[in-house]
Each structure stands twice: as C-alpha cells, then as structure tokens.
Structure 1
Amino acid sequence: IDVAIVEVGIGGEHDCTNVIKTPIVCGITSLGLDHVKLLGNTIEQIAWQKAGIFKPDVPAVTVPQVSEAMRVLNERAEERHCSLEIAPPLNHYPNYPFQLSLAGDVQEINASLAIELVFHWLHAREGQSYDKLRTAPLNEKILQGLATCRWSGRNEIVDTPSATYYVDGAHTIESIEQCKNWFTNSLSKQNKSERLILLFYCSNDRQPDVLLQPLMKCKFDSVAFCSPITSLPTINDKNSQTDTKPGNDQWRATANIVSEIGRLSLHVAAFEKLWLSTIENQTTIPSIHCFHTVSQAIAWIDDSKSSKPSVLVTGSLYLVGAVLKLLDKNDSN
C-alpha cells in the first residue's frame, strides 16, 4: 500500500481511527449539524469532537467554516500542538479552471481539501517543497485524478429508459441545500421540463420538515416517501434460509417495514404543512405516495404515464444505496 486514506466513522475525539498515532496529515471537511445525539447539538460541540483527530506535530487542514466552528478548530489545534491551515479555493492555482468529474459547488470545496492533503503527503514522503506545490500549477496526475474521480451516490445522474434519476445522499440541512442547487442547475443545463418527482426518506434522528424545507422551491409534481428497504421478503427467500429464529434477515426486513410505516406518515404530514405554508397562491399540493420498499417505488416510477420524469433521490444514504442497487440490477438484467 502506497497511501491509505482513512475516513473517520463518527466524530473524531473517540473514533477508532485514533489508533493511528502519527498520520501524515489530518483533514476536516465542511462541518454541519449531523449525528447530534452523539456529537452535540451545536456547531461548536461538533467542531470540538471532529478536531479530536488532531495529533501533535501532524499538520491539519480544513476548509472555510462558520466562525464559531473555526474558532473551536483553532483552539483545538493549539491544544494538540499542531498547525491548522485552510485549503485555498481552486482558483488559487495558476491553471484554474480545470475539469472536476463530480458536480456541485461543494465538490470544489472537497477538491481543494483533497489537493492540500496530497501536497502534504508529497512533501512528507517524496521531499517535494510544500510551498512550491501550493503556488505552482497542478500537475497532470492531480488534474487527471480530479477529472476521473467517481463517488457513487453523490451528485450522481443515472439515466434509465423510464426516468432520469438525480441521486444525492444529502442528509443534513447544509448538504440538502447544496443538493437542491445541484438538481435545479442540472435541470436548467439539460433544459429539462418533464414531470419532477421527489423520492425521499430521512432516518429517525433527523427532522423531515427541516430537510424538506429547501426542496420546496423545486415544485415537484409528485412526492414519494419510501423506506430504505430494498424489497419485501419472498417465499424463495424463506426457502433459502435454514435459520428460522427471529433476528435473521427475513424477520428483520419484515420488522423494519412495520416500524417504518409510522415514520413515513410523519414525512407526509411535514411535507403537506411545508407546501401549504411556503408556496404562494397554491391551492393544491403535489400527489403524495408512500412505499414500504424501494422496489415498489421504482416500479411506480417505471409505470409513469407521463413523459420521462426527472427523479430526485435524497435524504438518506441508505435510500440512495438501495435505489442505486436496484437500478444497477435492473440495468444488468
């Protein structure tokens, strides 16, 4: 292995990745209110937890943050005796603009952080001058990486015979806002005027009204709320099982579906309230549908009587993963 990029699970202060005591560099991406039950319900508390990955004498890099978060990160860097730098924007480099394979404004921020992490690695392992790397045009290998990077489920467009899916695993207010901007910009660039469908789900620790709010401006024709369960257990699934004790996959899938029914009703109530309160001169709301499984939702979209719809899938990485899994399976068949 030439290099390992180790992603933190949740937070940083108590994350298992801290077993690595002397990494080359530590990076922190854009912070938002996420995993609040574990990390705290303010941006300052979350920043404190995230900065727990800082190590003595190991450089740290982040991207522009809100002032409250930046103050905490600087305090933690001083406490941990490490430097902390803010990655410059991409237009800092002489050969900007260059191609990014990942769409969305937030990906420019992510790319700027990735470039800085690479520079620190090249400096530590190959002896290249960090200052020269930061001021010189990006080399061809870095440009190639930026142009060919793939990140499934983030700002991803999947075209099928029956619909065009715009898939993004956004699940915080900040990322949902970015997702909305990417979706509307993509529709504008492609001159899309077909029926718009929202396929949405968010997990128990998130508030559907908060995440749905930015999406109101998209004015969807139909909204589908769907649990992130791929499909219902079948008799073939049962016959293939030798373990009939509660807790196996079949039992869990059925139990999950039952528990999600109430959750989806909360989604519907939140959307109806938001629509009627935010859309002016609107006497009707979009058609609203609930599905127990993703396969049911995809089948409903496939049977759409209108012209090829544009479908935004967002709110949950679990939902996005299930949708991509089914679309890939359908494509292979």
Structure 2
Amino acid sequence: MTSGPDGAAAARGAPPPSTPTSDAVLERLTRLHPKIIDLSLGRVERLLERLGHPERRLPPVIHVAGTNGKGSLLAFLRAMLEAGGRRVQAYTSPHLVRFHERIRLAGGLIDEAALIALLERCEEANGPEPITFFEVTTAAAFLAFAEEAEGKEGAGGKEGADILLLETGLGGRLDATNVLDKPLLTAITPIGLDHQQYLGDTLAAIAGEKAGILKPGVPCVVGPQPDEALAVIETAAERVGAPLHRHGQDWRFAPGPEGFQFEDANGVRRCPQPNLPGPHQVANAALAVACARRLEGFDLGDDAIDRGVRSADWPGRLQRLTRGPLAEDLPPGWELWLDGGHNPDAGAALAETLKTWHDGPLHLIYGMLNTKGAEGFLGPLAPLAKDLKAVAIPGEKASLSAEDAAARATRAGLDATPAAAVADALQAILRSAEAPGRILICGSLYLAGQVLRDNG
C-alpha cells in the first residue's frame, strides 16, 4: 500500500445521498486543514485527549509500517486470527470503494449510522481547529475500536474484540496511528522508495520514518529489507530497546511448487500456497506466519495459520475481474485483471507474476497520480506487455492526464497511447488484438477503487 490517506477521495464510492450521510461529514472534515498530508502528532493527540483517550482503551494491537505489503500482511493476519476463533478489528487505508472499508470491527465493516455518530463526535470535540482528514478519521476509528472492545452496543455489539490490526497511513514516526505507548507487536514490511516528498529521498531516510513505530520492549517482526534500510531499523531498535525478529537471521522462508517452507527458532514447517496470487504474496504470507508465531497469549496453532494463508482476501491486489460491464464485454478466451500497486517495488513484484503468464499477449491499461514515478513502476512491466492504454483517474485532481501518462509510459519503453476512459481503452485493445490475451488495469489504488465500484 501504499498509501497515504487522501481527503479528495474521501467520498468516493459512497451510498446514495440521504440525510445525514457519512459523506457529508467526511467532506466537511476535509476543510479543517488546508493540507491533505501534514505529518505531526500534536493535532491528533489534542483531539484524543478531548475524546477521553480512546487509544489507551484498545485491545492488544499489532502495529504495521512499511512501503509495500502492509494491507496484504494484515489480510493474512486477520484470516489466521479469525480461523483461530479470535474477534479481530482492523484499520487500513486508503479505501477502494467506500470509506467504511478503513474501519473493520470484529463484527464486520463499520455501519453507516455508527460512522456518522463517531465522525460527528470527533468533529464537535475538535471544533474549528486545524486537523487533517486522516488524523480526525483515525481518532474516530480509535473511538470505534475502544468502544467495541469495551462491549458498548453502538460501536459494534457487546461481544468485544480480541485484537486490533493497525496499519500506518504514511511513514510511521509522525503518523497519526503512532500514539500507542505499548502495542503487543510491531511489524515492518519491505521498504522502498515512495512518498519521497514527505519521507525523504533515500531508503535510509524512509526507513528511519518507518522505524518510528518501534517501542521499548515491544518485539518487531521485520520483513525482507534492503541492507541500507535494515541497518537503520537495527540502529533504531537498539536505541529504543525493541527486540527484532529479522528475516534472513531469525526467520526465513523458501517458496516451493505447492506453498513455502518456513523456518524460525521453533523449527521448520511447510505452509500452503497463499490464496493471494504472486510470488510477492508468498513473502507477505511468510511475514504473517512470522508475526503469528510471535504473538504472546494467542497460541495460534498450525491449522489456524494454514487456513489463514489459504483464505486471505485483499481486493485490488492482482484480482481477476469476472463480473460487471468490463468483464462482460470480453470475448471468449480473454481475462481481465486489476492491481493497485504504484511504486517501483510494486512494479517489480508485479512483473515477477506476469513473467509466468505465457499463454497469450498481455495488454496494460494504466492511470497514476502525479505524485508517483510512472517510469519506475512501468519499467519492469515494459518487456512483458504488448501495448498500453493510458487513462486519467476519474475524480482525482492529482491524476496524470491520459496524454501525460501515455508519454511517461512511452519513455518507460511501452507502445502507449491515451484513451478517454477505461472502457474505451478496453475496446481499443479488443479491436486491435490478433488473439485473445490478458488485460491488466494497474497503476493506482484510486483507479482500482473506481474500477471495483463499477465492476467488482
């Protein structure tokens, strides 16, 4: 994920207008601060104090930072914990179709009435003072999680919750989620170049921001990292006194034809093939196994871990579309796929899967925000694709135009032309194709959300 919150996308994919709606409250909240992203803890700490410190009343928390794979890691962990009979909450961003996806209570996604009530409580407590969209909605999420954990009916029922999976929005050190004194466990997924305008231009600088979630005495499970990033994480861990459980040293995995082999201090075991496709998802599943085996007090057995690996679901990550107008327009023999990756490492990981698609030509449809490096993302895909159609992302002010996106794809080595919309791009591919193949829509989670809303 990638994936700082975006106030401009707050109301995307919402239910039809009614009075009141969460969309109306969300839209008001975007006006409380002129900057969409302004990394700081002061504003959210002020609001949480006014709300009675819900962040101090949460169930045990796994706090996750990193550049790629955060959402997939949480999906695997949630599936494992639920397979073990645990009631699991999760906080992720951004959403794909509806804002409600960001706040998953133990009983399911937060409902409309509860979301409106929580947002209005936060709005009233904050008053007119500046606060970013992500900060105020994170405070609302903490209220929802704390009140469900305490068994309050309005937040999700009386059964409570056993654990909260908490994903950073951007960075870590100054991320609005980083207000917890002592989570149960932290995890850092692979670090790469992304959001350089906020986190720094080097892997070391970005790793320093991500390592800001480390806490004294709290174990941190570290996924595969570039040497430069790992060195920074190790230094930060030593400084704060956080025990590390590092890939390549304390745990490791090896992919196989029917799954992967996992090894740590407790021994070696075979794990099944993950439900999510792609070699990078094997790495994400292995990191989830490493986390699950370090969870004190939860005693997840091998059966629950394996069932979680086999059942995890995370939309918009190399997802095949089989329904909706776009899929229904495909002639026999064609496949339509969707992926929300958007940085160079995501492009490289995606390419590893695409290299195994040998049974027909690959056509790309892509759109991207102007804050991302299109050439870095598309470079690994260029040798694998026959052609590319570039589109603007509907409703996103920060989207590249179709013409600019096509020019950048051409510089990356692709046969690229602009198209007015995804449906037009698909039809242009079908008209010019000589044989059935696969069409992959990619380049942005915001584009993926648009496509899923219309075709998921």
TM-score clears 0.5: yes
Alignment of 1:295-314 (within 5 A): 295-298=423-426, 300=428, 307-314=435-442
Residue by residue over 1:97-122, the C-alpha shift from the partner in whole angstroms, topping out at 9 and shown as x without a partner, is 5221111111122112212222232x
What amino acid maps onto 1:212 in structure 2? L
SS at match of 1:325: helix
CA displacement at 1:310 relative to structure 2: 0.9
Residue by residue over 1:24-69, the C-alpha shift from the partner in whole angstroms, topping out at 9 and shown as x without a partner, is 0000000000111000010000000000011111111111211110
Residue by residue over 1:221-265, the C-alpha shift from the partner in whole angstroms, topping out at 9 and shown as x without a partner, is x31101221xxxxxxxxxxxxxxxxxxxxxxx4x94xx85x7332
Residue 100 of structure 1 is matched in structure 2 by 274
What amino acid maps onto 1:179 in structure 2? L
Larger mean Cα displacement after TM superposition, 22-31 or 204-213: 204-213
Alpha-carbon distance in structure 2 between the residues aligned to 1:115 and 1:22? 22
Change (3 A) 1:219 1:49: same
CA displacement at 1:300 relative to structure 2: 4.6
The partner residue of 2:287 within 105, 110, 113 is: 113
The partner residue of 1:212 within 375, 378, 403 is: 378
In the alignment, structure 1 residue 30 sits paired with structure 2 residue 204: no
Alpha-carbon distance in structure 2 between the residues aligned to 1:82 and 1:274? 41
Residue 165 of structure 1 is matched in structure 2 by 336
1:294–1:322 CA contact under 8 A, matched in 2: no
Unaligned runs of at least 5 residues, structure 1: 230-252, 276-284, 329-333
Residue 345 of structure 2 is matched in structure 1 by 174
What amino acid maps onto 2:363 in structure 1? I
Residue 244 of structure 1 is matched in structure 2 by none
Alpha-carbon distance in structure 1 between the residues aligned to 2:375 and 2:438? 22
CA displacement at 1:213 relative to structure 2: 1.4
Residue 143 of structure 1 is matched in structure 2 by 306
Residue 225 of structure 1 is matched in structure 2 by 390
Query: What's the TM-score, normalizing by structure 2?
Result: 0.56
Deviation beyond 4 Å, 4+ runs, structure 1: 298-307
Aligned residues with identical type, % of pairs? 27
Alpha-carbon distance in structure 2 between the residues aligned to 1:304 and 1:327? 23
Alignment of 1:231-250 (within 5 A): none
CA displacement at 1:215 relative to structure 2: 1.4
Residue 82 of structure 2 is matched in structure 1 by none
Residue 454 of structure 2 is matched in structure 1 by 326
What amino acid maps onto 1:140 in structure 2? D
Unaligned runs of at least 5 residues, structure 2: 1-160, 254-260
Residue by residue over 1:3-41, the C-alpha shift from the partner in whole angstroms, topping out at 9 and shown as x without a partner, is 110000000000111122211000000000011100001
SS at match of 1:112: helix
Alpha-carbon distance in structure 2 between the residues aligned to 1:111 and 1:79? 29
CA displacement at 1:141 relative to structure 2: 1.0
Alpha-carbon distance in structure 2 between the residues aligned to 1:181 and 1:173? 13
Alpha-carbon distance in structure 2 between the residues aligned to 1:7 and 1:50? 11
SS at match of 1:61: strand
CA displacement at 1:304 relative to structure 2: 6.7
SS at match of 1:5: strand
Alpha-carbon distance in structure 2 between the residues aligned to 1:4 and 1:274? 41
Residue 65 of structure 1 is matched in structure 2 by 225
Residue 271 of structure 1 is matched in structure 2 by 409
Q: Normalized per residue, which structure has more strand?
A: 2
1:166–1:183 CA contact under 8 A, matched in 2: no
Query: What's the TM-score, normalizing by structure 1?
Result: 0.75
What amino acid maps onto 2:379 in structure 1? Q
Residue by residue over 1:275-303, the C-alpha shift from the partner in whole angstroms, topping out at 9 and shown as x without a partner, is 3xxxxxxxxx74x4323433443555576
Residue by residue over 1:176-233, the C-alpha shift from the partner in whole angstroms, topping out at 9 and shown as x without a partner, is 0110121221x23xxx22x43111122111222222211111141x31101221xxxx
What amino acid maps onto 2:222 in structure 1? T
